[in-house]
Structure 1
Amino acid sequence: MIELTHIPVPAAAERALLDYATAVPGAGPDDFDTLAFHPYKKIVKACLHTAQEGLCAYCETPLDADKGQVEHIKPKGGASAHPHLTFEYTNYAHGCINPKTCGQNKGAEILPIEPRVGCNSFFSISTDGSLSPTPTLLDADKQRVRETIRILGLQHPPLVLERKKMVAAVLEVKSKMPALVPLFLSTKNFRHILKRL
């Protein structure tokens, strides 16, 4: 996952959300997908895309700037709704649209581990591309990792296969030119979780 900080909030996103709040006072979850919010959401998505360096916040696959969705990390609806966070930039992530993974798979569930600072310390990645809890974690934290992997569909076979290919590439660079690994990773998919190798 990408370790999102959202600090400081990009000026363009802050301005867009403030302008929308002024234009539509009392807006709630039902207003998020309206045509009225669309131009503001486009600005927010562009800011998220830049901050996330073009990767999905959850699976770390590449996203075009105009693709994907503005994902609510804490859901705006459902049984665990946080409607007060519907228009909060700090609750947003740019996520891919795949019914088997990420926000589409998550739906309205609460993530035990969110894409925040330190989140990747909970995960281990193996040479076959699969994710698992870091072995030194307490049992309760291991369960949180397994639940997060399930909710986000991070063991979806095509995703695991792509991670496996990148693991092999990183290990090859590491064996031949270890000093170049940070540079190699700096532009690759899965670069945040691959730092766990």
Structure 2
Amino acid sequence: MVELQHRAHPTPALAAFIAAHPGAAVADFDSAAFASVKRAVKADLNHDQGGLCVYCESPLEPTSGQVEHIKPKAGGNGHPHLCFAYTNYAHSCIHPKTCGQKKGNGLLPIEPGPGCNTQWTLSTDGTIEPIAGLSQKQQRLVGRTLDMLGLNADSNLVDERQRWLRSALAVLQQAPADIHTFLQTAPYRHMLATVL
């Protein structure tokens, strides 16, 4: 998961929209008036996330995917007051088995942010597993987060992580001084860092 750190100053178009529409409601998020703002927010989030999906860390173009509400804007777990809060946004891929589409209106036990990867690690088979020594409660939180996002459910995603792990281990063995540079540009780099 991307250890997301939002920029200090949100997208100017978002700030302008909020100022012009102080009573904006959840329904306005999908309105024509907000469409251009959403595109600008998505581009900024993509930059903040290093071009990766916030959840699975697959490469993601600034114009693809969706603006994801980390805490859902609606539903039983809705936080409508955070609908237009930049700090509640993330850029997520659109895949029915994983990430924001799989999460739906659920509340994640572990959200993307600094330190979010401290309780799990990437295994050699490409799956994400809880680290050793966690309490049963922590293991349940890790398991629920991974299940809600489907991070081990898509075999293509698991295989891709495994391939990149092999590449990272080869760099580490053949040119250890280059591993930092490798990790700066590799997809799945936050998960790879849990191993390296």
| TM-score, normalised relative to structure 1 | 0.95
Aligned partner of 1:183: which letter? T
Aligned-CA RMSD value = 1.0
User: Structure 1 residue runs of 4+, over 3 Å off?
Assistant: none
1:9 is displaced (CA, Å) by: 2.8
Partners of 2:75 and 2:178 in 1: CA distance = 46
- CA offset at residue 174 of structure 1? 1.3
Q: What is residue 8 of structure 2 aligned with on the other side?
A: 8
Letter in 2 for 1:182: H
* Paired AA for residue 195 in structure 1: A
Aligned partner letter, 1:168: R
Which residue matches 2:145? 148
1:107 counterpart (89, 104, 107): 104
TM-score after normalising by structure 2? 0.96
Write the letter of the residue equivalent to 1:166: W
Q: Give the Å deviation of 1:7.
A: 4.0
Q: Percent of pairs identical after alignment?
A: 48
Residue type of the alignment partner of 2:159? L
Mapping of residues 1-197 of structure 1, within 5 Å: 1-10=1-10, 13=11, 15-155=12-152, 156-197=154-195
Letter in 2 for 1:44: V
Q: Tell me if the contact between 2:5 and 2:48 (Cα under 8 Å) persists in the aligned partners.
A: no
1:75-130 deviation line (CA, Å, top 9, x unaligned): 00111000000000000000000011000000000000000110011111111100
Instruction: Provide, for residues 148-170 of structure 1, a one-character-per-residue CA deviation record: whole Å limited to 9, x for no partner.
Output: 00000101211101001001111
Q: Mark the runs of 5 or more structure 2 residues left unpaired by the alignment.
A: none
Q: In structure 1, list runs of 5 or more residues that go unmatched.
A: none
CA contact (8 A) 2:73 2:79 kept: yes
1:46-90 deviations in Å (ceiling 9; x for gaps): 110111111001000011111010000000011100000000000
Letter in 1 for 2:132: P
Cα distance per residue 1:16-40 (max 9 Å; x no partner):
2221123223111111011110111
Query: Contact 2:110–2:142 (CA<8 Å) still a contact in 1?
Result: yes
**Count of aligned residue pairs for this structure pair:** 194
Q: Which amino acid aligns with 1:49?
A: N
